[in-house]
Amino acid sequence: MASVSSKPFNPFAMAQAQFDRVAEMINLDHPTRELLRQPLREFHFALPIRMDDGSFKVFRGFRVQHNDARGPHKGGIRFHPQETIDTVRALGMWMTWKCAVVNIPLGGGKGGVVCDPHNLSMREQEALCRAYVRQIARAVGPLQDVPAPDVMTNAQHMLWMLDEFERIHGAKYPGFITGKPVGMGGSVGRTEATGYGVVFTIREALKELNLRAKDTLASVQGFGNVAQYAIELYQQIGGTVVCVSCWDQEDQTSHAFYKADGIDLAALRGICDRFGGIDKKKAVSLGYKILPGDAWIEQEVDILIPAALENSITGDNAGKISRRVKLLAEGANGPTTPDADHILQERGIFVIPDFLANAGGVTCSYLEQVQSNINYYWEKDEVLGKLDVKMTSAFIDVSELAKKNKLFMRDAAYIIAISRVAQACRDRGWV
């Protein structure tokens, strides 16, 4: 995990601290606090896989079901070498708030496998996907828990998982999983949705800040799916990205790529691997300046977009953020620690919190489920139009509450999300 802090980082402790703070602010009753600060249930399992060389290797898998008071659990499955149960717990809890803040009828969950897909063949990855589904086949499903892609998983992984689920249950269940390939039950626009959603919220925030996109510069952490599509739409609305950073698998560290007159997205896409790792030598020949990975945060820009992993803006590096920065749009889940939040708040930086900014992915997953259920698939304009409406109205709800009560945007988003989930729990008679 991209850790630059000297303190040990526990994402679940951070998610709970964020929750406790807001539970206190809204005077949430104690039984509801106890219910919501822990997952409802979780699964830990072994995934024995026959490798291509004939040997067996045992991987570890997790699925955390945080809360389903508002609808089936929903959330991605990550493949990551440093995956931990506490990371998956935090991400599962954030999914509950994410679905609630955009007001879609879904709960929260998350899955993970401790593995590095850089070192796995496609056949080994397929075996891992199928084994994962066999381990939880009775606890997931379209009406229980609906997985999706996340860090280092994609539409192909989802299709293998769907196929295994359908073999086990002996029928077609396209609503079991989202982020499927288009033509195989997937929705057009799903691949772009998270990154585009980030920019829908940036567009709204710029209106509040009285800024025009074409007058702004941005620096982005990450060059995976979320970052690439966020850059694509941000450039389309007129913005200029001067810096992107990404993980270098060969050097086992990250690098930042800088170009004063703006990066060329198509050119960088042409020289990166399927995980968004940009080829350094080719980038130099295209005129990019190579900087240490952390340099993305120090750039003289108006907008910072962390779109990599959790724990990237901490008490240790938030002080390096340039005085010019006015807006932070969290494409990643959990990129900012509470220590860093204090600094951002003092500096008056407008923060679009993760579970609002990056809710486009799950919102489009919901639209995918609706299309799968009616077995009729919309055109891209219709999908992206509906996504824009959902994201924009969620942004407006949060920013109006923040303005009315002079709240930090993260707190306003939490108040809306927690109140909705708590109400659903009470209405069901759970607490």
- Chain residues in the site for ligand GLU (CB under 6 A): 74-76, 98, 148, 150, 178, 333, 358, 361-362, 365
201: closest CA among 64, 69, 98? Answer: 98
The pair phi, psi for residue 73, each rounded to 5°, is: -55, 145
Choose between 73 and 255: whose C-beta lies nearer to ligand GLU.
73
Least distance to ligand GLU, CB of residue 189, Å: 12
CB of residue 282 to ligand GLU, shortest distance in Å: 29
180 among known catalytic residues: no
CA separation (Å) from 345 to 174, 323, 338, 408, 409? 43, 13, 10, 7, 9
> C-alpha angle with apex 280: 279 to 282, nearest 5 degrees?
70
Nearer to ligand GLU, 98 or 326 (CB): 98
Q: Beta partners for 146?
A: 74
3-state class (DSSP) for residue 66: strand
Contacts of 305 (CB under 8 A, 6+ apart): 198, 202, 218, 219, 220, 221, 227, 230, 234, 328, 329, 330, 331
Residue whose CB is less far from ligand GLU, 190 or 255: 190
The conformational region for residue 287 under phi > 0 = left, psi -120 to 50 = alpha, else beta, is left
Nearest approach in angstroms of CB 320 to ligand GLU is 27
Which of 74, 110, 180, 390 is catalytic? The answer is 110
User: Which are the contacts of 30, defined by CB distance < 8 A and separation ≥ 6?
Assistant: none
* Diameter of the chain measured on Cα atoms: 63
Minimal distance, residue 149 CB to ligand GLU, in Å: 6
Amino acid at the residue 202: I
- Which CB, 28 or 101, lies closer to ligand GLU? 101
Look at residue 367 and give its three-state secondary structure. Answer: helix
- In the complex, what is the shortest distance from the CB of residue 355 to ligand GLU, in angstroms, rounded to a whole number? 8
Q: Pick the closer one to ligand GLU by CB: 148 or 305.
A: 148
Q: What are phi and psi of 78, to 5 degrees?
A: -100, 145
Query: 102: closest CA among 334, 397, 380?
Result: 397
In the bound state with ligand GLU, the residue whose beta carbon lies nearer, of 247 and 366, is: 366
| Cα–Cα distance measured from residue 152 to residue 328, given in angstroms and rounded to the nearest whole number | 24
Compute the least distance from the CB of residue 94 to ligand GLU, in Å: 8
- Residue at shortest CB range from ligand GLU: 76
CA–chain centroid gap for 112, Å, is 13
CB of 129 to ligand GLU, least distance (A): 15
Q: Which one, 96 or 125, has the nearer CB to ligand GLU?
A: 96
Residues with catalytic annotation?
110
